[in-house]
């Protein structure tokens, strides 16, 4: 009996030892956390990003706000980012985060560039662009009118041009904003057309130039109208040996001392044999034209018609001078 008990105790001890050993060798009951894989960038969908413009790029002008041009993109993965990938926008213009080109140009020139839009994936699109920027609109008086525009009554388009302009974007419009133009003339740009008529004296008026972008510039010339140069000519009678001194004939109007030119000298003999006298010498001094009548020679008299042209030397410029003509009837008696 004792032996059976002892045997059971031994067997129980062995079982416990075996259980302990098995528990010691068992895998611990711990949970292992496995990190998920890092996500890759979102791929671009089947439709790649595309770039469009609501309106084409247009010209601008220094100092005038540029009418914005809105660019837009479709497809791809939003949000989009906008950059200038080549070239440069005109100074003063910027490309906004929404794809709008706007600003106030500060430098004239022709600017070429490339706009790029990129989506949040791996797709990009580009668009070439070019924006010409004109210089600011300016208007000023021509040098001949820096003080006054000198014109003569009765002359066509003499000093009619009074102003000059530069810059801006056409088409241009011109408006009389104060005063009135001289009688007989009409405004055509920065020029008066027609024939100056009316009274002598001066007047001032203002003209405003407006370009297609609304920029304006003004000039205010002073026109001084003086009497038209005129020369009536006359008659001169001399003895056969010519006049003892120069014969003088008055002229009127004009400004300054005119130039004189003989444009015709036609003679006939009183008695044959015919004698052809030389062309009389002419000059201008003060307000008179002087004529030196040559002698007849050989004792035979002659008659002649001398045609003169006086040209005003006003400062309007070459090719825009007023002139007048007149004749002097010459009779040289025979001896």
45 pLDDT band, cuts 50/70/90, is low
What are the tens digits of pLDDT across the range 70-96? 999 999 899 999 999 999 999 999 999
What are the tens digits of pLDDT across the range 183-192? 999 999 999 9
Cα gap 221→178, rounded to integer Å: 11
The answer to whether residue 44 scores a pLDDT higher than 70 is: no
Contact status, residue 130 vs residue 111, Cβ threshold 8 Å:
yes
| Residue in the block written with tokens 């709008």 | 100
177 pLDDT band, cuts 50/70/90, is very high
What are the tens digits of pLDDT across the range 238-289? 887 778 889 999 999 988 889 999 999 998 887 777 777 889 999 998 889 9
What are the tens digits of pLDDT across the range 115-170? 999 999 889 999 999 999 999 999 999 988 888 888 888 886 667 889 999 999 99
Cα gap 210→181, rounded to integer Å: 19
The answer to whether residue 21 scores a pLDDT higher than 80 is: no
Q: Does the global pTM surpass 0.85?
A: no
Lowest mean pLDDT among 15-19, 258-262, 308-312: 15-19
Kindly list the structural domains of the chain, giving each domain's residue range(s) and its CATH number in brackets, ordered by start: 50-133 (2.60.40.10), 138-226 (2.60.40.10), 230-332 (2.60.40)
The answer to whether residue 35 scores a pLDDT higher than 70 is: no
Cα gap 328→335, rounded to integer Å: 22
Q: What are phi and psi of 189, to 5 degrees?
A: 70, -130
**What is the per-residue DSSP string for 32-79?**
PP-PPPPPPPPPP-SS--EEEESS----EETTSPEEEEEEEEESSSSS
The answer to whether residue 31 scores a pLDDT higher than 80 is: no
pLDDT of residue 49: 87
Query: What are the distances in angstroms from CA 202 to CA 162, 218, 221, 238, 254?
Result: 14, 20, 10, 44, 15
């Amino acid at each position: 009996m004792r032996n059976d008990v002892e045997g059971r105790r031994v067997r129980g001890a062995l079982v416990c030892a075996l259980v302990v050993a098995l528990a010691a060798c068992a895998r611990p009951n711990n949970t292992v956390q496995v990190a998920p894989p890092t996500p890759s960038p979102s791929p671009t969908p089947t439709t790649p990003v595309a770039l469009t413009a609501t309106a084409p790029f247009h010209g601008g002008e220094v100092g005038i706000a540029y009418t914005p041009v809105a660019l837009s993109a479709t497809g791809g993965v939003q949000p989009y980012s906008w950059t200038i990938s080549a070239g440069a926008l005109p100074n003063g213009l910027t490309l906004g985060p929404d794809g709008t080109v706007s600003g106030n140009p500060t430098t004239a020139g022709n600017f070429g560039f490339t706009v790029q839009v990129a989506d949040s994936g791996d797709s990009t699109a580009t668009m070439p662009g070019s924006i010409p920027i004109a210089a600011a609109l300016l208007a000023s008086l021509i040098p001949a009118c820096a003080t006054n525009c000198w014109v003569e009554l009765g002359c066509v388009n003499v000093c009619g041009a009074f102003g000059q302009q530069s810059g801006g974007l056409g088409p241009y419009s011109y408006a009389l904003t104060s005063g009135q133009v001289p009688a007989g003339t009409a405004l055509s740009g920065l020029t008066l057309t027609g024939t100056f008529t009316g009274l002598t004296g001066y007047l001032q008026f203002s003209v405003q130039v407006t370009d297609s972008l609304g920029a304006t510039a003004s000039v205010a010339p002073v026109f001084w109208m003086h009497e038209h140069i005129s020369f009536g000519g006359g008659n001169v009678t001399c003895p056969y040996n010519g006049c003892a001194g120069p014969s003088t004939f008055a002229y009127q109007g004009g400004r300054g001392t005119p130039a004189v030119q003989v444009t015709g000298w036609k003679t006939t003999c009183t008695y044959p044999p015919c004698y052809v006298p030389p062309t009389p010498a002419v000059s201008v001094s003060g307000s008179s034209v002087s004529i030196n009548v040559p002698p007849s020679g050989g004792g035979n008299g002659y008659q002649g018609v001398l045609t003169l042209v006086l040209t005003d030397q006003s400062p309007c410029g070459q090719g825009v001078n007023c002139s007048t003509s007149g004749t002097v009837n010459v009779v040289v008696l025979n001896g």
